[in-house]
Structures are given as C-alpha cells and as structure tokens.
Structure 1
Amino acid sequence: MNENNTIENEKHILTEIAWEVCNQVGGIYTVIRSKVPTMVKNWGKNYFLIGPYAPKEAATDFEEAEFGHDVIDETLRICREKGLHIKSGYWLVSGRPQTLLFDHKSSFHQLGDIKYYYWQNHGIDFKNHDPLMDEVLAFGYMVHIFLSEMTRVAIDKKIKPLAHFHEWMAGSAIPNLRRDQVPLQTVFTTHATLLGRYLAMNDPQFYDHLPFMDWHKEAVHFNVEANVKLERACVHGAHVFTTVSEVTGKECFHLLGRSPDKILPNGLNIERFSVLHEVQNLHHKYKQVLEQFIMGHFFKSYSFDLNKTLYFFTSGRFEYSNKGYDLTLEALARLNHRLKEARSPLTVVMFFITRQPIQSINPEVLNARAMLDKINTNSNAIVEQIKNRLYRQAASSKGDHKLPNLNDMVDDYWKLRHRRTIQAWKSGGLPPVVTHNLVDDANDNILNFLRTANLINHESDKVKVVYHPDFISSTNPLFGMEYDDFVRACHLGVFPSYYEPWGYTPLESLARGVASVTSDLSGFGDYMKNVSIGDKKHGMFIVKRANKSFHEAAEELTNVMWEFTQITSRERIDMRNQSEDLSEVFDWKNLYKAYENSYKMALETYF
C-alpha cells in the first residue's frame, strides 16, 4: 500500500478461488461472474480466477490460452512438472478474466494420503464416503500446491500475493497453507454457513434458538460433521474472515466461532441490466407475451379482464420455509379473501417458479396452449381473407360506401374451422394449478397448502396461482420467453425469505424495473434498511420477520400486496422507473470498496 492507503495492484497478485468459477452451481456463480468486470478493471493483469475443471461448462465458456505473466507462467510450469493438470485461459464472460481450471479428478489417486494428513494435522476424519467431499479435497490439494509455489515465485520477484476463497468447498487449502506457514495473505468469505441452512430448514424458531445451539452436536445430528469442521478450519485459518451480511455474521459467530472482520455485500453488474430507462416499454412488450400464456391457461375455463390483472411471482430453490413460500401462500389466501370482500375488479396471478422433480409437462396445459395457437392461426387467416375481399370491394365500389357485412366475406370453411377449434379448446374444468406432472404430487408442500386452502383457481378467486416447477427459457413451449423477459413482464416480485444470507432475486428484479418484497431476515433486506432510497417509492417493500410470529408476518405481507393492488397504473409506472434507479446502489462499482478494504486488512499483516 502507498501513503494514500490504497493498494498498489501492480505490486500484488490477487487470486480468487471459488467452486463456481466457470461452473454454474448456485448463487455464488452470480457473485463471481457479475463482479468480474470491476475486478479486472481494478487489478488488470494481476487478477486470476481459480476453479474446478467442469468439462461440460468449460467446453462452451472457456478458451484455453497462455497468459505471458512471469509469476503465473513460472508457477504453472513447476506445477505441471509435478503432475498437476491445470488449464489456463479465459472465462468467456464480460471482462474475460484470466482463469485457471484445476482438473481435480486427476488427483483422486492421492485421496488416501490427503484424508490421512487432514486427520493427522487438523483432526478432521473423512471416513464416510462423500463424492462431493472427495472432489473438494482433491481440488484443495491442487490449490495448496499451486498457491505455495506461486507465493515462492512471487516473493522472489518482490510481489506480494493475496488469495480470496469463497465458501468451504473452495477454501479447503487454507488449513494446510497456514500449517505450512506459507507467506500468503488469505481472505475467506462464507456466503451461508453449511449448518445454518440445515438448521433453518428444520427449526421454525431457528433465530431464537441460535445462541443456544451446540454446533458439534447439530453437525453430528445432520451427518455433516466433517464438512462443518472443514468450514470452521477455513474460517479460523484465514487472515481475514468475511461474510455477505450482518444477518449471516451473527450466524457465523454462533456456529463457526468467529465474527466476521468485514461485511462484503453482494452486487450486480448493473450495466448488463441497463435498458436506458426503457423499462416501461419492455414491460408492456413482454406482458403481451405473458398474456398469451394466461389466455391459454385460464381462458379455456373462464376469462377475466387482462387490463385489470396484476402479475406477481417468486422464484428460487425449492426451500419451502427458508425461501418464504409458506408465508407467501398464507398471505395469498388472505389477499384472495380481502379482494373478494372488497369486490375488487382486479385479478392477481401469482407465479411460483422453482425446480422440483417432474415427469413431464401436464398434457392438458400443453394442449390448451397448442389449441390457443390454432385459434390465433385461424384468426389470422380469417383477417387476411376479410382484408383482401374488403379491399377489392372498396376499390370496385360504384358509390355505395357503407361497410358491408364482414361475416359474408368469410368462407364457410373458416367459419366452421374457427367454431370447432374453440369448442375443442373450451373446458368446464378448473385451470390446473401446476403446469407439470410432479414425481411426488401427493407430498408437495405448495400443492398441499393450495388444496387445504381451496385456492385452486376457481372462477370466483381473485388470486390465481400458476406453479411452474421448472426453469423458464425461450425453448419452454408454455412461455416462449427468457426468464429475464418473464420478470420484466411482471409487476411485483415476492421474496419474504426466512433464511437467506443475501438474496439476489429481489435485487435482480429491481434491476429490471420490477418492485420487490424482501424480508429483514434476508441479508439483502437487512442491508436495504440502511439505504436511504430503499423505500416503497422506489419499489422496495420490506416485511418484518425478525422477532415476529408467522401469522404477524403473514398479515404484514398481505398488507403489502393489498397496498400494491391499490396503487394506480401511473404510480406503478413511476415505481418501475425508480426501482431501476435503486438498483444502481448495488452496482459493483460502488460495492467493490468493501472488497478492497478486506484486502487492505489482509495486507497489513505483511508489515
């Protein structure tokens, strides 16, 4: 660092290690990928990403190349001579970062020794066979060797190296680096504690019980003792320990035995979402596409006014309580009752977009969409026939300028075909709640709630539900649009999580100009409480769940959704524009400073 207390990046090498580098597994993939342009801008040729070699992902997202970097090229030569299989090149994402992919499976023959020395040196027993843990340990073994050699080469060249590890799966080299006293400064970030996720899924009073939990007893109970011990070894071995939110920081103190030194909030590459304030035009464009699905799904049974319909959605992993699906469903049932009582002219369609084991798309849903497409084709043919005949008649008219009977301009063939298609499409049954045939329909939490609450798309219901247990993409025969476009078509994202260390979905919604609901138990919601423009005017609604009962939180969420249904179209347009403005707060250009401060803190131990 110089006299201005800024990092002189040309005198350092920063390696960032994550299991999700060029390997889309979970939310950390978004963190790493979206942050790349800012990291490359700040560190230039001295920034490198390290991840596991995943052949399928690498085939499309990775381009092999040599770097021409004195320290890294020399380190690669040494490591390859030692038998390590390492690919160097560029990850084909914005910023094109220099990337090293370690073929960790090529080191599986070393697993016996790796596990033995971990037990001998760190007291962690990996006796239970776990395929993922084998991959983690093999990867950590290679990272340990590489960073040890890189540090030696770098220091010989008067360059001080830094290594930033994300999560225990990438950080398994840390304990051995510290044991060997390698003069490498390390930062470790946990995005969610392994044990915390298990506990929150199984304990409705997780946050109340957290201060009194015995981490070792709970780890043994959930059969993740070795994993948690490894995570704790990473946490206590790092020079600087960080996490993504204050909410997770409290969890770390109780379950990992160390409070974070720094908080590193997650951001986005907002430029990727920027549409130069065309959010309303894009909303209108994609809402028309979404309405094609709505008509195909519902109008075969009954219809409602699409001009008075609001589209809500939630999405994410299927963690029924953690993601707040249970709270959302309870609030929807209450909202349905409230809208009925008020005789509201509005209809709310709520989408649950998640991933569940499925057998196939529900044939009834698929057929309804196909039949609507046929109606569209017939209608276009009829319009074309009328247009041509009306044009010819108008051109040849000798004085009679009245509009003729348009029915007479349609052939009986098209009249009959149109009538038969509509008759085949119309149904007396209720529109399906779920778009797919689930593997375990009888035990699905969402479906069971809807059945119990009788919220199953009756014509009288003001809240309709579409449960889509699969990804949305342009190849999806039901929607025919990308997920990003689907989000832009909606009016409100609902994400009242009970356990969410950060939570990207509400932030990504805001970046697309869509108002969002979050909770104060999510890292994002907790952070947003301290953002001056994080308010309803800017499309941000925060449901209080900390120290609240389930029913209190459900009533508050109901009030939020009710309030949203009462605002005018003009107010929604203003909110849409200002939601996009709020997302700018979370641009990596603004949040990178927190990362830089953690690196400064690590580098101070050099002096």
Structure 2
Amino acid sequence: MQFPAPTPETVAPNALLLEIAWEVCNQVGGIYTVIRSKVPATVDVWADRYCLLGPYFPQQAQVEFEPLSDTQLAAAYHDPVARAVRQLRQQGVEVHYGHWLVTGKPRVVLISPFQAYNQLGQIKADLWNHHHIPSQEHDDLLHQVTAFGHLATRFIQLFEAEATTAGHRIIAHFHEWMTGTAIPALRHQQTTAKLVFTTHATLLGRYLAMNDPNFYDHLLYVDWEREAKHFNIETAVKMERAAAHGSHVFTTVSELTVRECIYLLDRIPDAVLPNGLNIERFVALHEFQNLHQLYKSKIHEFVMAHFFQSYSFDLDKTIYFFTSGRYEYHNKGFDLTLEACARLNYRIQQSGLEGQVVLFMITKRPYHSINAEVLQSRAMLDEVQDTCKAIEQQVGEKLFYQAASSTDYQLPNLTSLVDDYWKLRYRRALQSWKTSRLPPVITHNLVDDANDDILGFVRRANLVNNRHDRVKIVYHPDFVSTTSPLFGMEYGQFVRGCHLGIFPSYYEPWGYTPLECVARGVPAVTSDLSGFGDYVQQHVPDHEQKGIFVVRRKERSFDEAAEELTDMLWRFVMLNRRERIAQRNQVESASGQFDWHQLRQYYDRAYELALERE
C-alpha cells in the first residue's frame, strides 16, 4: 500500500513524538537496527518535534552520544524536553541530553537505571500492588528494566506537563518489554500522553519456537502463564502483557506475529508496522556491480588461504552462499540451510556440473581463539603473495631493460630473469604452506565443540570439505568486521561480495538479514514464516524475478521445505554469470520499496490513531 508523502504539517500537528527503546545509543540486538535506520526518515517529517529516550550505559554512549553543554541546555528555554531534563536534574536524577551521532542527529535523553537501584524494593512493590507483576531476585537485566521504567515514567510526566503547557500533545512510542514497564505506571497515574507499544517478537513465542518443532500448530492451546513459569520468564512476560494492554495503540511488525500476540498476549494488534532500511541507491547502475567485484575479490583471498593449501579449484566458477544471524539453530533455519546444501552437494556431484559452492555460516558462539592452522594458513598465503609481487617487480624491470636493449624480438625465458634468492624463497613458501589435511570446517576453537548443532550436522552428513565435495562449508562463529584477521572487512561489504543470502527461518517476526541483502543488490532466500517473507508475498509481485525467494514452510514438513530450498539453490547454481548480473540488477531496482521513507508512513498512521483514542 502506498501513502502520499507526509510533511511536518500533515502528520499529527501540534504533537511531539517521544520514542523509547532499550537500544537507543545501545547496540544489543535487532531493535537497534530498526531504531537507528528509521531515524533519518522520522526526522525528515517530525524534525524538532521528535526525541528518543533510552538507558545510559557509559561505554556504549561515549561512542554514539554527543551531550549538550550546560550553556546549550540553559539556552533551550522553550524546549519542553530540555525543561523536563532540568527539572529531573533538580530532583537529583542523573539525566543526559544531547544528540545521537547517526544520520539525522536526533535529540536523545539517556537515563542511567542504576541510580534507582536503592528504590527497587518500593518500585517492585508498586508493580505487584498495582499491576500484579511479580519480581525476581538475582536477575540484573530485570533490575535494570524495572529501574529504568520508573525513571522513564518520572521523565515522561515532567515532559508531558511542559508540553501541555506549551499547547502540545504527546505521543510516547515504546519498543519491546524492556521499556514497556513505564506504560502501566503511566496509565495508573492517568497520563494524558498517548501510548503506543510495539512488540517485535513476543518473549514467550521465541522461547516456545526454540523448544517446540510444531510451535505454530500448538499455539492455539498454549497456557501462557504455565509456560512462562516453565521457562522462568514470568516477570518479563507479565511486563510485556501489561504494556500491550495498557497502550492506547498496540502494534507488531508483521502479520505473522499478529496471531502470536492474540494467543500469547490476549490482545489483537491495532496495526502492523513493517520494518525498513535506509536503501543506498547509486546514480550509476554499474556502481553496485563494481562493489560486488571488489568485495568478492577479498572473499577470494580468504577462500584461497582456507582451501588452497589442501587443494585448489576455479574461483571464477565458484559461487558464494551465506547465512547469518543469532545462533538459534532451528529458529533461524540453519538446520534447513544445511540439509538443503547437503542435498545440493549430492545433486551437483551426480550432474557433473562444473564449479563449486562455498557456504559461509556467520553467527556468534563462545570460542577460545581463532584456529591456529587457519591463522597460519592466512599468514603463509600473505607470504606467498609478497614473494610473487617481489618476483613480478624484478621480472618486470629486467624484462623492460632487455626489451629496450635487445635486437631479438622473441620473449626471453622469464625464469632466467628471477634471482636464485627469490626462486628459493618461492619454493620454500609453497612447501611450508601446502598440506594433505582437509580444510577445516570451522575457523575458531569453540568452547563446546562436541555439542554444537552445526558441527554435529556436518559430521553426520560427512560434509567436511572433502576434495570431491562440491559444496564447501566455512563456519565462522563470530561477527565479520574490519578487525578480523581472516576477512578484514565490514559485514555489509562481505554481504556485497557474496552471490546469495539464505535465511529460511522457522521463527522470525520480521527478519533483517534478507532485507540487508536486498538493500545491497544481493539476491536472498527467506521463508513464509518470517515477517519479511510474508510481506514480500503480499506486496512484491513477481518477487522471484526480482531475486527474492520465499521457501514455503507453513503447514509443510521439514523434508518438503528442504526439497524446495534445494530446488531454489540448484536453479541459482545453474545461472550463468550474465544471468546473475541481470538478477542483481533486478534486486537493486526492487529495493526502494523497503526504504524507511516508504514504510515509516505505517508508523505515522499508528500515531494518528493513538491521538484519536481516549
């Protein structure tokens, strides 16, 4: 659905928007991406009527937060936010006011939850007496959440009073249960602010999906209170339910989670707010293709270091698949991805098709260190490369001199142009590097190698990077970053260098990983059990032609879904280079409809709905 582009005058005139999230200036999960990426599009419309509120953690804030000086704060006399900050400081609360150093530079208020720890006893008593929310001891996250909710309530009350005096209405938009504890408290105190609450994934739903392979079939019969106690998350679940029921407008991020909210939170969402990204469009169509080539060459370097010490293959006929995300083996579809790749390996072997596939599995797991053999192989390849460059320079200089001085038009024997020193160094480097061992599947030494599900599968399937395997596996249990000695590039650059992202999730309320692929012009596989995949099916016609593939997992067996994914991967492998380039062009051209400037309008309609409600 397309909406007319709003302007600052048409969206909730005279209203001030306060957006509250645990991930403001605090990168801990996927909500950080939602909030941060949405800021520029929100600022474009709400301008100085927009402010964010979050917890203050010094280590994170010092990188992304720029505080206002006391002089600047004092000068902002007509700013309701600044006036509320000054009042809260006068009450003895440490509160920080400034700008978030992201595109759009929005105003931000940060409050440390720890300063309210001495009041936790009374805060917990109020939660129980007024809202029947129990407390848990020895859970520091719950203590932080409870304390922050209390301080956020106090700030919003002051902000509300200042804004009302100035003739403004207040919209307070809370994300997830960690900030939602302020909602029941504000309603108890009869706030005039309009409260919007968004659950990005119900807390209980995530736990159930990880532990029940038939989660969707059993959802109708879940006893939420019993299950919350079983998983020891009763307090957090009741906080989430109180926020959902106390808000004027209750929202979620996809049609898939609507059903989850109905059965686990007992309230039908008023609106669905799909997530977007800042889609970086390029003036020249060839520019993102050039970026693909640039970062693919860096992946080539890793692949040579990882595999070529044991055996080599043609990199021009190698396709790079990857999957990434939080380590939830079943929920994130890692199990389905591996099963499909094992079947693809057999299918390519039987077909006699030329070429290789390398599957990168990028996730985060506890590890001791990077595998010493992997590091050494990378270092030895660098030595080989340096030696080759030295030989290249020497041969080039001597060849140029001979060409200029010789009357013989024949090309000389190039080996004779290399000094014995470099010949010996070249031979020793190769002898030290080459090995008969198989390339390792995993790049790091895990803390619990024996019980890792990914390693368990590749061992059972014997998908252990044999020479005859046509699908190779590289399991990288850490984030890809520029500081990594193995890749040496950012995650977004790594994505651009790959050919296909695979994310056939079983439980995924939205799913940013395939959207990040699309934003970078890289084809992606998602599933109809992810919010993104469900959205694509409803709103993107001919999505397969645009390089967005949706595996059907609703009411289908694991085997059926695995076979469909295998077919998708097989068809992709069969594409020639020209067809893959054309497909990336299609993906890039379709990415604009996922830009926040399009999808943010769902948020603005939710805000208008909140203002209409008593």
For normalisation by structure 2, the TM-score amounts to 0.96
Kindly provide the amino acid, as one letter, of the partner of residue 26 in structure 1: G
Match of 2:400 in 1: 391
| Equivalent in the alignment of 1:204 | 213
1:115 equivalent among 124, 128, 131: 124
The Cα of 1:567 is off from its aligned counterpart by 1.3
Q: 2:185 maps to which residue?
A: 176
Matches within 5 A, 1:207-226: 207-226=216-235
How many aligned residue pairs are there?
Answer: 601
Contact in 2 for aligned 1:7/1:600 (Cα 8 Å): no
SS in structure 2 at match of 1:402: coil
Post-superposition shift, 1:442?
A: 0.5
**Distance verdict in 2 for CA 1:164–1:146, change over 3 Å:** same
Task: Specify which of 5, 16, 20 is matched with residue 19 of structure 2.
Answer: 16
Q: Does 1:305 align with 2:308?
A: no
Report the 3-state secondary structure (helix = DSSP H, G, I; strand = E; otherwise coil) of the residue aligned with 1:87.
Answer: strand
The answer for the alignment partner of 1:125 in structure 2 is 134
Residues 11 and 604, structure 2, Cα contact 8 Å, conserved in 1: no
Does the Cα contact within 8 Å between 1:10 and 1:46 map onto a contact in 2? no
- Where 2:538 maps in the other structure, the secondary structure is coil
* 1:380-438 alpha-carbon deviations (Å, 9 max, x no partner): 111111111111112221x2111111111111111111111101111001000000111
Per-residue Cα deviation, 1:361-398 (whole angstroms, up to 9, x for no partner): 1011111111111111111111111111111112221x
The alpha carbon displacement at 1:164 in A equals: 0.3
1:158 CA displacement: 1.6
Offset from partner CA, 1:33-55 (integer Å, 9 cap, x none): 00101111111111000000010
Counterpart in the other structure of 1:524: 532
| Equivalent position amino acid for 2:484 in 1 | N
- 1:50 partner letter: L
Is the 2:395–2:414 contact (alpha carbons within 8 Å) kept by the matching residues of 1? yes
Contact 1:331 1:555 (8 Å CA) reproduced? yes
Verify: 1:162 aligned to 2:171, yes or no.
yes
Counterpart in the other structure of 1:413: 421
Cα deviation digits, residues 216-272 of structure 1 (max 9, x gap)? 01001001111101100000000000000000111010000001000000001113x
String of CA shifts for 1:253-310, please: whole Å, max 9, x gaps: 0000001000000001113x65743121111111111101111110111111111100
Deviation track 1:461-487 (CA, whole Å, cap 9, x = no partner) reads 000000000111122111122211111
Deviation of the 1:349 alpha carbon: 0.3
Label 1:80 to 1:520 Cα distance change in 2 as closer, same or farther (>3 A). Answer: same
| 1:469 equivalent in structure 2 | 477
Alignment partners' CA distance in 1, 2:300 and 2:509: 34
2:361 counterpart of 1:352? yes
Shift in Å at residue 571 of structure 1?
Answer: 1.1
Which of 556, 559, 565 aligns to 2:567? It is 559
1:341 aligned to 2:341? no
Deviation at 1:129, TM superposition (A): 2.5
The answer to whether the aligner puts 1:50 opposite 2:50 as a matched pair is: no
Q: Distance in 1 between matches of 2:443 and 2:419?
A: 37
**Poorly superposed stretches of 4+, deviation over 4 Å:** 4-10, 273-276
SS in 2 for 1:596: helix
1:404-553, aligned counterparts within 5 Å? Answer: 404-533=412-541, 535-553=543-561
SS of the equivalent of 1:455 reads coil
Instruction: Report SS of the residue matched to 1:466.
Output: strand
Partner SS state of residue 119, structure 1: helix
Structure 2 residue 36 is the aligned partner of structure 1 residue 33: yes
Aligned mate of 1:576, from 577, 581, 584: 584
Tell me: CA distance 1:263–1:20, structure 2 relative to 1, closer, same or farther (3 Å).
same
Is the 8 Å Cα contact of residues 526 and 550 (structure 2) preserved in structure 1?
yes
Which sections of structure 1, spanning at least 5 residues, go unmatched?
none
1:306-364 deviation digits (Å, cap 9, x = unpaired): 11100000011100000000000111110000000001102000000000001111011
The percent identity for this pair of structures is 56
Indicate the residue corresponding to 1:85 in structure 2: 94
> 1:41 & 1:276 partners in 2: Cα distance?
25
The answer as to whether partners of 2:546 and 2:590 remain within 8 angstroms in 1 is yes
Are the counterparts in 1 of residues 11 and 45 from structure 2 also a CA contact under 8 Å?
Answer: no
Post-superposition Cα deviations, 1:467-526, rounded to whole Å, max 9, x if no partner, equal 000111122111122211111110000000000000000010011111000000000000
Q: Deviations over 1:555-592 (max 9, x none)?
A: 11101100101112111101111111222111111111
User: Judging changes above 3 Å, is the alpha-carbon distance between structure 1 residues 186 and 6 closer, same or farther for their aligned structure 2 residues?
Assistant: farther
Equivalent position to 1:73, from 82, 92, 96: 82
Please tell me the residue identity of whatever aligns with 2:576.
T
How far apart are the structure 2 equivalents of 1:584 and 1:198? 34
Q: What is the CA–CA distance in structure 1 between the aligned matches of 2:305 and 2:579, rounded to whole Å?
A: 29
Alignment partner of 1:529: what SS?
helix
SS at match of 1:74: helix
How far did residue 176 of structure 1 move?
0.7
How far did residue 77 of structure 1 move?
Answer: 2.1
- Write the mapping of 1:252-401 to structure 2, written as runs, cut at 5 A: 252-271=261-280, 274=282, 276-277=284-285, 278-397=287-406, 399-401=407-409
- Please report how far the alpha carbon of residue 533 of structure 1 lies from its aligned counterpart in structure 2 after TM superposition: 3.8
- Contact kept, 8 Å, 2:12 with 2:608, in 1: the verdict is no
Query: 2:595 maps to what in 1?
Result: 587
Higher mean alpha-carbon deviation, 203-212 vs 482-491, is at 482-491
Q: Is the 8 A contact 1:9 1:46 kept in 2?
A: no
Do 1:533 and 1:582's aligned partners in 2 also have CA atoms closer than 8 Å?
no
Question: CA offsets per residue over residues 184-204 of structure 1, 9 Å max, x none?
Answer: 101000000000000000000
Contact 1:493 1:506 in 2 (8 A): yes
Deviates further, 517-526 or 416-425? 416-425
1:248 aligned residue:
257
User: Cα–Cα, structure 1 residues 127 and 319, in superposed 2: closer, same or farther, change >3 Å?
Assistant: closer
Rounded to whole Å, the distance in 2 between the matches of 1:5 and 1:605 is 21
CA contact (8 A) 1:491 1:515 kept: yes
Instruction: Find the aligned partners of 2:505 and 2:398 in 1 and give their Cα distance.
Output: 59
* Unmatched runs of 5 consecutive residues or more in structure 2: 1-6
Question: TM-score, normalized by length of structure 1?
Answer: 0.97
Partner residue, 2:4 = none
Q: SS at the partner of 2:545?
A: helix
